[in-house]
Amino acid sequence: MGMAQNKRTPPPSSSMILKLQSNTQGRDWAVGDIHGCFRQLSRLLKMAAFNPECDRLLSVGDMIDRGADSAAVLEWLAQPWFYAVRGNHEQLAIDSLLGDKQAEVRHVNNGGSWLLTLPAPQRQACLTAFQRLPYAIEVANADGGKIGVLHADCPDNDWEALASGLANGTLPESSRNVTLWSRERARNSRGGVVRGVDLLLVGHTPQTSATRFDNVLNLDTGAVYGGKLTLFCLNDFVELSLPSEDDALLGFHLHE
């Protein structure tokens, strides 16, 4: 389906950061928290004229829970043009599937009951896929800069320290939790510039529209809560959003 530069072997479970070279053949898009709204995402990609032969789609995490199509996450993660970081909901699913009963209850209470209804082989496939998700993605710019992608926030506003700690496995759990759970920047409407990246793309805390705090752009626009789903083009900084609506007409298909 995809061109050679978009093919990749899924990272092993130990790979906590994924570094991508600049996409010289097409466009890179990032999408905010999907939360099971994959049919809405299909329509949005149709609007964006997304080309799976040369374009790439990056997810800021929280692909699952609350929305009707959470189980479709495995099909999307199997696409060679789709890349994602883990969000707190994927982490809750991992902990639940590994037998943490407290995490299971918390996951179910936050929209994760769909996972328990899956056959055992599919639940195992979800565990494997989610464990492979990195905490961060780094995308090289054609001009030599870079854009970071993670779910919530960058600990200590230091991307290089984060990237190094993830790469060598020394990043403390407290810092990993910042990437998954922190809402301080969004709550305070400030947080300081994240050093080491031109732009950092995050989600986690819903906004009425894509909102920038210093060089951090929050793309979670509350699709699953009746808001909208937002795409952001890394090439020209164009934003494209689609409000929630009936999923009767689907335009973009995974296997085109």
* Catalytic residue status for 204: no
Amino acid at 134: P
Distances (CA, A) of 219 to 38, 150, 206: 16, 11, 8
Question: Please, what sign has the CA dihedral across residues 131, 136, 141, 147?
Answer: positive
Write out the DSSP string of 102-159. Answer: HHHHHHIIIIIHHHHTS-HHHHHHHHHHHHT--SEEEEE-TTS-EEEE-SS--GGGBH
Round to whole Å and give the CA distance between 251 and 248.
Answer: 10
Catalytic residue among 35, 89, 107, 204: 89
Tell me the catalytic residues.
Answer: 89
